[in-house]
C-alpha cells in the first residue's frame, strides 16, 4: 500500500521543481490565473511592449483599482503598494509612456506621472 503522505510530498516537491525551472517568467497563459494582489480583482489587463519567447516588458493593469504592475526582464512585479519603489516605478512609466494607457499614466496607483509632476 502507498503512503499518501509520502506521495503528496513527492508531488509537492515535483511541482516546486517545475516552478523553479520556469521561474516567474510571464507567459500569456499565466494571465488566466492572475488577480490583483490588492483587491483580488480578476481578470487583469495585459499590455505587452516587448516579447521574445516570453513577455520581456509590459504592464499588468487592474481595471477595478487602476493599479499597475510592471513586467521587467520577463518578471511581473506584482507587489502591494507598501513594497513598491517610486524610484523604480516612475522611470518605468517614463520609459514606456508611449505604450502605457493614458489613464494609467495620469491616475495609476500607487504612482503616476501626474503625481511626479506635482512634486517637481
- Secondary structure (DSSP) of 65-91: T-BEEEEETTEE----GGG--HHHHHH
What pLDDT sits at residue 31? 87
Residue 16 belongs to some domain of the structure = no
Residue 18 belongs to some domain of the structure = no
Q: How far apart are CA 62 and CA 83, in angstroms?
A: 17
Range of the domain at 49: 24-119
Contact 114, 106 (CB under 8 A): yes
What pLDDT sits at residue 16? 45
> Order of strands across the sheet with 75-76?
45-51, 55-61, 68-72, 75-76
Residue 15 belongs to some domain of the structure = no
Mean pLDDT by 10 residues, the chain (120 residues): 47 47 64 92 96 92 97 92 94 97 96 71
Cell 506635482 -> residue? 118
Residue 59 belongs to some domain of the structure = yes
Q: What is the pLDDT of residues 53-77, one digit of tens each?
A: 889 999 999 999 999 999 999 889 9
Residue 19 belongs to some domain of the structure = no
What pLDDT sits at residue 29? 84
Residue 6 belongs to some domain of the structure = no
Contact 58, 47 (CB under 8 A): yes
Residue 107 belongs to some domain of the structure = yes
What pLDDT sits at residue 26? 63
Into how many domains does the chain fold? 1
Residue 5 belongs to some domain of the structure = no
Amino acid at each position: 500500500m502507498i503512503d499518501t503522505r509520502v506521495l503528496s510530498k513527492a508531488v509537492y516537491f515535483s511541482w516546486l521543481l517545475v516552478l523553479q525551472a520556469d521561474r516567474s517568467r510571464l507567459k500569456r497563459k499565466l494571465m488566466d490565473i492572475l488577480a490583483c494582489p490588492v483587491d483580488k480583482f480578476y481578470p487583469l489587463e495585459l499590455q505587452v511592449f516587448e516579447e521574445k519567447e516570453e513577455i520581456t516588458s509590459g504592464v499588468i493593469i487592474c481595471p477595478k483599482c487602476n493599479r499597475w504592475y510592471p513586467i521587467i526582464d520577463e518578471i511581473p512585479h506584482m507587489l502591494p503598494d507598501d513594497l513598491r519603489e517610486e524610484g523604480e516605478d516612475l522611470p518605468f512609466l517614463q520609459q514606456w509612456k508611449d505604450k502605457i494607457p493614458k489613464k494609467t499614466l495620469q491616475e495609476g496607483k500607487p504612482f503616476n506621472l501626474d503625481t511626479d509632476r506635482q512634486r517637481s
